[in-house]
A and B are shown apart, each in its own frame.
Chain A
Amino acid sequence: MRAGFHTLLNVLCAALWLAAANAFAQTPPPEGVRVRELGPVAPHWVFLVSPAGLDSEISTKVEIVDGDSLQMLGMLTGGLLGIAALSRDRKFIFTADTFYSRGSRGDRTDVVTTYDARRLAPVREVIIPPKRQMHIPPDSSAMALTSDGRLLLVANLTPATSITVVDIANNQVAGEIDTAGCTGVLLSGPRRLQSLCGDGAMLTIDFNDSGKAVGAKRMAKPFFDPEKDPVFSVPAMLGKTAYFISYHAMVYPVDWSSDPATAQKPWPLVTDAERKQGWRPGGYQPLGAYAPGGLFYVLMHRGGEWTHKQFGIEVWVYDAARKQRVDKIVLPRPAAEIHVTQDRDPRLFALSLPEPGGMASGPTLQSFATKTGRYLGAMDQLPGFPMWIFGP
């Protein structure tokens, strides 16, 4: 009887063991969880800077989108009204941000952060003087990286103007450049910058590795009249010529190969008939350049005086050398910003934002093949309120 009990126990144990083994065999292998890393930055990637949502403005988003698949790749979270730039070797993303120790109040810290472009993770930071320019929309004249990747120039506004020079190689603030009466950092040489002045002239400044100005020359006279026909702050760069466009649809080319910069003859973006119809440029980023083809792209709408921020319904393409419009792309939906990639099969990206009082819809990125003007699709539900686009 006792032996029988033992046998029964053994059989039960064996059965339990078998059941457990069976259950174990049916459990799927553990999942390979991980944090993704990105491949190298591709020519059609776009970086969208969302400085403020409608409910919050204290954390800027930099959204990274694959312009081919129109999928989101990841994002950076920054501070108040930040700006970003990509290094020329595409390995790093730099942001300049402002943080308050208690969110919307407290001690102010301005900081330049370097992110690894594959991991989208911060790798270094430099605290800069707490006076960086904060502007909506943000634009690329607020921060620029020298072509050798050594120095990052950050525009200040107190509202007096100057530029903080950050030595990226040594991870420290190098110096400060005074730009009294002129705003923005537009680089035109390895150690040369251009700044746009309140009277419509251009200031050319040469600087050194120590972040100090070593020479400054101003145009003898303004190249446009800010009272009569103001230009948008950021030009299209084609070779050594900067093409500024104006509220009243004129082109003001400026030759940046000379010192100081020299103005070239302005020419119109529109015919007299188009002007009568009210065609003019507008939006937060109404101008894009395609340097390899000598083309620039202008976001156009029909409107009256002071509609320079109205969203555009068409993109007009100009051959800068021929001073002629060569193409026109009609947008499926109005856009506030445009950006053109610099590769051999370029894309035009147009970003649509919800309009106040309009239909409830999230920001949408539209894609076009610029050679044919063909609409390739759109990506919706973009986070935040992207107001500036840049890319490699």
Chain B
Amino acid sequence: MDALVERVTRQVAMRTSRRGMLALIGRVILGAIALPLLPVERVAARAHAAEPAPGEGDPLSCDYWRYCGFDGSLCGCCGGSTTECPPGTLMSPTSWVGTCRNPVDGKEYIIGYRDCCGKDNCGRCFCQNNKGDLPLYRTQLDNGVTWCYGTSSFVVNCTTAVKLALKS
């Protein structure tokens, strides 16, 4: 499963631009069709992304369910959100992955912890949970790796938590 996720992520990363990647993530998360990135849609998307379903918990809290394998500053505390990078940062198309259980539907999801790179450490809402975190020999599961591959800077500002897939 991990190998599959890694392969898919890499292929997507190789074939898409960063903007394309952002749009793809938007579609996956929101289940939306491809929309042009007009300001109105962007505001709407942010509102969606920042608001979890009832019962999911507080995405600005380290015990929010998606953060079970988290390590870093929550982007929601740094000008972004659970699924968005703060302005001017670079969202990495690569990430380490965790498997977290959604308390609302009881299902396990593969979560991609995508770093927002290119600006110095935000430092707010530092959160480290480590579920599924393995040492470097399992690189894709290592939350200590600076996951800025595919961007132009390995300085990490904060980290997002994006639902990639339902665990099969």
Interface residues of A (CB under 8 A from B): 52-58, 80-81, 98, 100, 103-105, 108, 133-137, 141, 157-159, 161, 182-184, 196-198, 200, 226, 230-233, 305-309, 356
Set of chain B residues within 8 Å of A57, measured between Cβ atoms? 120-121, 155-156
A226/B134 in contact, CB under 8 A: yes
Given A230-B134, A308-B133, A309-B133, decide whether A80 and B144 contact each other with a Cβ distance below 8 A.
Answer: no
Asked if B138 CB lies within 8 Å of chain A CBs, one says: yes
Whether A135 pairs with B145 at a CB distance below 8 angstroms is yes
- B153 contacts chain A at the CB level, 8 A cutoff: yes
User: A105 and B153 in contact (CB under 8 A), knowing A54-B123, A226-B138?
Assistant: yes
**CB distance A158 to B149 under 8 Å?**
yes
Q: Please measure, in the bound complex, the distance between the C-alpha atom of A203 and the C-alpha atom of B32, giving whole angstroms.
A: 47
Residues from chain A with Cβ under 8 Å of B136 in the complex? 133, 135, 141, 157, 183-184, 196, 233
Q: Among the listed B118, B133, B149, which residue makes an inter-chain contact with A159, where contact means beta carbons less than 8 Å apart?
A: B149
Of chain A, the residue at the smallest CB distance from B140 is A159
List 13 other contacts, CB 8 Å, given A196-B136, A306-B133: A55-B120, A57-B156, A104-B118, A104-B155, A105-B152, A105-B153, A134-B154, A141-B136, A196-B137, A226-B137, A230-B134, A233-B136, A306-B129
B46 at the interface (CB under 8 A from A): no
Shortest Cβ distance from residue B143 to the other chain A in the assembled complex, whole angstroms: 9
| Contact across chains for B130 and A306 when beta carbons are under 8 A apart | yes
**How far is B122's CA from A54's CA once the two chains are assembled, in angstroms?**
8
Residues on A with C-beta less than 8 A from B134 are 226, 230
Which B residues lie within 8 Å of A232 (CB)? 135
Q: Does B102 contact A (CB under 8 A)?
A: no
Closest to A136 in B: B144
Contact B132 A306 (CB under 8 A): yes
Q: Which residues of B contact A103 (CB under 8 A)?
A: 120, 155
Query: Measured between C-beta atoms, what is the minimum distance from A265 to chain B in Å?
Result: 21
B108 to chain A, nearest CB (A): 15
A104:B144 contact, CB within 8 angstroms: no
Contact B123 A55 (CB under 8 A): yes
Most buried by A among B121, B127, B135: B135
Give the shortest distance, in Å, between B87 (CB) and chain A (any CB): 14
Smallest Cβ-Cβ distance to A141: which chain B residue? B136
Q: How far is the CA of A230 from the CA of B133 in the complex (A)?
A: 10
Which residues of chain A come closer than 8 Å to B16, judged between CB atoms?
none
User: Which residues of chain A are near B118, meaning CB under 8 Å?
Assistant: 104-105
What 6 A-B pairs have minimum CB-CB distances, sorted nearest first? Answer: A104-B155, A233-B135, A134-B146, A54-B123, A183-B136, A196-B137
Q: In the complex, which residues of chain A have a beta carbon less than 8 angstroms from the beta carbon of B71?
A: 136
Q: What residues of A have a CB within 8 angstroms of the CB of B133 in the complex?
A: 306, 308-309
Given the contacts A98-B154, A136-B144, A52 and B137 also touching, CB distance less than 8 Å: no
Please give me the residue from chain A that is nearest to B132 by CB atom. Answer: A306
CA distance A232 to B132 in the complex (A): 14
Chain B 97-109 interface mask (CB, 8 Å, partner A; 1/0):
0000000000000
Per-residue CB proximity of B46-82 to A under 8 Å, as 1/0?
0000000000000000100000000100000000000
Q: Is B119 positioned at the interface, with any CB of A under 8 Å from its CB?
A: yes
Q: How far is the CB of B48 from chain A (nearest CB, A)?
A: 28
Contact of A135 among B121, B130, B144, B149 (CB under 8 A): B144
